[in-house]
């Protein structure tokens, strides 16, 4: 257990020092609530033209319901992208920076080291999700919405849940970054997933595609599509994420990391 703790600390320090991770954190925690507040202000002001009409169309409601709802929608996509980039970097950097062979010197197994990486990425993603929603609530107070009303609570919970599922769905990208021996492979897979998500959603089958279901559930395609998403379809994210974690840990346990 002490070796596991050392591996976890080792990975946490590397992750914390990453400029990419810090940038993603700021963009999510500060950028998404700010953008949501801007949409709310544009819709509330009745601004004529494209901006006002677009903002009104995107908001799922007014007041706290609208602010929390649009934040949840943006988090369902933003967290997938942010956590996907972080996971791809965390695993792929060992090969890009040519530090993979030095991992043999550690006293913990490489499979456990991969699990430590997953633990750090997941903990960071969940923390960022909570901070983003807290920042959303702060933005609402600054905007003069007053204290959140009870009707906003289920919308906040829904946004947090969808964002958490998106974070879990980002973990399998670590497997792609590992087998391609670099984070560019993981980033390429992330871009492909985004394209596929758009295609399956356009064909009306997005609810059964794990990477599309959380966003649809929080209203990215409208209230009718959101109501059609079932708990089973949302739950598909869990086995997909678990399969990615298991496959990655197994690969790291047996792969020859000294070959680039």
**pLDDT higher at 41 or 179:** 179
Mean pLDDT computed over 138-156: 85
> How far is the C-alpha of 169 from the C-alpha of 210, rounded, in Å?
8
Cβ neighbour number for residue 231 with a 10 Å cutoff: 7
Percentage of the chain exceeding pLDDT 90: 53
Mean pLDDT computed over 44-49: 59
Whole-number pLDDT of residue 51: 53
Band the pLDDT of 160: cuts 50, 70, 90.
Answer: very high
Q: Mean pLDDT for the chain?
A: 86
Whole-number pLDDT of residue 179: 93
> How far is the C-alpha of 72 from the C-alpha of 70, rounded, in Å?
5
Question: Quick check: 2 pLDDT over 70?
Answer: no
The string of pLDDT tens digits covering residues 170-210 is 999 999 999 999 889 999 999 999 999 999 998 888 899 99
Contact of 77 with 165, CB cutoff 8 Å = no
> How far is the C-alpha of 163 from the C-alpha of 165, rounded, in Å?
5
> How far is the C-alpha of 63 from the C-alpha of 43, rounded, in Å?
10
Mean pLDDT computed over 30-39: 87
Question: Quick check: 18 pLDDT over 60?
Answer: yes
Which run of H or of E encompasses 239? helix 237-254
Residue with tokens 């920076």: 97
């Amino acid at each position: 257990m002490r070796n596991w703790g050392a591996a976890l600390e080792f990975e946490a320090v590397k992750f914390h020092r990453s400029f990419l991770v810090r940038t993603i954190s700021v963009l999510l925690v500060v950028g998404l609530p700010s953008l949501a507040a801007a949409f709310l202000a544009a819709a509330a002001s009745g601004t004529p033209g494209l901006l006002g009409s677009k903002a009104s169309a995107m908001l799922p409601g007014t007041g706290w319901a609208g602010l929390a709802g649009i934040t949840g929608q943006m988090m369902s996509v933003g967290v997938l992208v942010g956590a996907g980039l972080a996971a791809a970097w965390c695993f792929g950097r060992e090969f890009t920076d040519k530090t993979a062979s030095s991992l043999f010197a550690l006293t913990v197994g490489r499979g456990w080291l991969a699990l430590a990486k997953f633990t750090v990425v997941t903990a960071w993603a969940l923390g960022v999700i909570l901070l983003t929603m807290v920042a959303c609530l702060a933005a609402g107070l600054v905007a003069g919405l007053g204290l959140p009303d009870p009707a906003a609570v289920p919308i906040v919970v829904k946004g947090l849940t969808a964002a958490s599922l998106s974070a879990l769905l980002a973990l399998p990208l670590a497997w792609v970054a590992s087998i391609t021996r670099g984070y560019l492979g993981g980033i390429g897979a992330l871009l492909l997933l985004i394209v596929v998500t758009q295609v399956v959603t356009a064909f009306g089958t997005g609810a059964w595609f794990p990477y599309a279901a959380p966003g649809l559930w929080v209203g990215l395609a409208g209230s009718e599509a959101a109501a059609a998403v079932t708990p089973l379809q949302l739950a598909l994210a869990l086995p997909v994420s678990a399969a990615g974690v298991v496959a990655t840990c197994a690969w790291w346990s047996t792969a020859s990391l000294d070959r680039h």
